[in-house]
Structure 1
Amino acid sequence: MKEGVILQKGEEVCFVHEDIIGDEHRIHMTYEHFHEDTSVGETILLDDGRIHLLVEEIVGTTVKTRVLQGGALKSNKGVNLPNTKISLPALTEKDKLDVLFALEQKLDWIALSFVREAKDLLDLKAFIAKHSDDYQVPVMSKIEKPEALENIDEIVAVSDAIMVARGDLGIEIDMENVPLMQKELVDKAKMAKKPVVIATQMLESMLESLTPSRAEVNDIANSVLDGADAVMLSGETAVGKYPVETVNKMSQIILKVEEDHRINVPHFVPKLGTDRFVTDMVCHNAANMVNQANVKATMAVTVSGYTAFQLSSRRPHCHILIFTANKRIVTKLNLLWGVRAFYYNAENNTDETVEEINQIALQKGYVKKGDYVLNLNAMPLFQEGITNTLRLTTI
Structure 2
Amino acid sequence: AGLVAKIERAEAVADAQVLDGIILASEAVMVARGDLGVEIGDAELVGVQKRIIERARVLNRAVITATQMMETMITQSLPTRAEVFDVANAVLDGTDAVMLSAETAAGSYPVETVEAMSRVILGAEKHPLAHRSKHRMDQVFHKIDETIALSAMYAANHLEGVKAIVCLTESGDTPRLMSRIRSHLPIYAFSRHPRTQSRVALFRGVNPVPFETDRIAEAELNARAVKELMQRNLVFEGDLVLITKGDAGAQGGTDTLRIVRVGDVIQ
Larger Rg: 1
How many angstroms does 1:331 deviate by? Answer: 1.3
- Tell me the distance in 1 between the aligned counterparts of 2:37 and 2:47: 12
1:329-368 equivalences under 5 Å are: 329-346=196-213, 347-368=215-236
User: Which amino acid in 1 is paired with 2:73?
Assistant: M
Paired AA for residue 3 in structure 2: V
1:364 & 1:287 partners in 2: Cα distance?
Answer: 22
**How far has the Cα of 1:292 moved from its partner?**
2.1
Tell me whether 1:282 sits opposite 2:151 in the alignment. no
Give per-residue Cα distances to partners, 1:209-237, cap 9 Å, x unaligned. Answer: 11110100110111011111111011100
- For residue 265 of structure 1, report the CA deviation from its aligned partner: 4.5
Q: 1:327 to 1:204 in 2, by over 3 A?
A: same
Partner of 2:186: 319
Residue in structure 1 matched with residue 123 of structure 2 by the alignment: 256
SS at match of 1:162: strand
- Quote the Cα distance in structure 2 between the aligned partners of 1:142 and 1:265: 26
Residue 265 of structure 2: aligned partner:
none
1:376-391 superposed matches below 5 A: 376-378=244-246, 380-391=247-258
Q: 1:293 aligns with which of 159, 166, 174?
A: 159
The answer to whether the 8 Å contact 1:190/1:265 transfers is: no
Task: Name the residue aligned to 1:8.
Answer: none
Cα drift, residue 251 of structure 1: 0.5
Match of 2:135 in 1: 267
Distance 1:321 1:291 in 2: 15
CA 141–382 in structure 1, closer or farther in 2 if over 3 Å, else same: same
Q: Which 4+ stretches in 1 moved above 3 angstroms?
A: none
SS of residue in 1 equivalent to 2:91: helix
For 1:331 and 1:156, locate their aligned partners in 2 and report how far apart those are by CA, in whole Å.
20
CA deviation after TM superposition for structure 1 residue 148, in Å: 1.2
User: Aligned residues: percent identity?
Assistant: 36
Structure 1 contact 163–196 (Cα < 8 Å) conserved: yes
Moved more, 138-147 or 342-351: 342-351
Alignment of 1:154-165 (within 5 A): 154-165=21-32
Residue of structure 2 in register with 1:179 after alignment? 46
Tell me what 1:372 maps to.
240
Deviation at 1:328, TM superposition (A): 1.5
Structure 1: give runs of 5+ residues left out of the alignment.
1-136
Count of equivalent residues: 255
| 1:271 counterpart letter in structure 2 | V
Cα distance in structure 2, aligned partners of 1:343 and 1:217 = 34
Structure number with the bigger relative contact order (C-alpha 8 A, sep ≥ 6) is: 2
Query: Letter of the aligned partner of 1:382 in structure 2?
Result: G
Q: Deviations over 1:318-343 (max 9, x none)?
A: 11101112221211210110111122
> Aligned partner of 1:283: which letter?
A
Alpha-carbon deviation of 1:351? 3.2
- Counterpart residue identity of residue 79, structure 2: P
Q: Give the Cα separation in 1 of the matches to 2:185 and 2:136.
A: 20
| Aligned positions of 1:61-76 closer than 5 A | none
Query: 1: CA distance between counterparts of 2:140 and 2:158?
Result: 23
> Are the counterparts in 2 of residues 236 and 246 from structure 1 also a CA contact under 8 Å?
yes
Report the secondary structure of 1:221's partner residue: helix
SS at 1:313 equivalent: coil
State TM-score, norm by structure 2: 0.91
Partner Cα separation in structure 1 for residue 105 and residue 79 of structure 2 = 17
Alpha-carbon separation, structure 2, partners of 1:328 and 1:255: 26
Native 8 Å contact 2:126 2:184 kept in 1: no
Report which of the two has the higher share of helix: 2
| Aligned mates of 1:265, 1:328 — CA distance in 2 | 29
Counterpart residue type for residue 311 of structure 1: M
Partner of 2:108: 241
Displacement after TM superposition at 1:365 (Å): 2.2
Q: TM-score, normalised to structure 1's length? A: 0.63
Instruction: Kindly provide the CA deviation profile for residues 169-217 of structure 1, in whole angstroms up to 9, marking residues without a partner as x.
Output: 1111111110011001111101101111100000011111111101001
Deviation of 1:363 after TM superposition, in Å, equals 1.3
Q: Quick one: which amino acid aligns to residue 343 of structure 1?
A: P
Partner of residue 304, structure 1: 171
> Residue 286 of structure 1 aligns to a residue in which SS?
helix
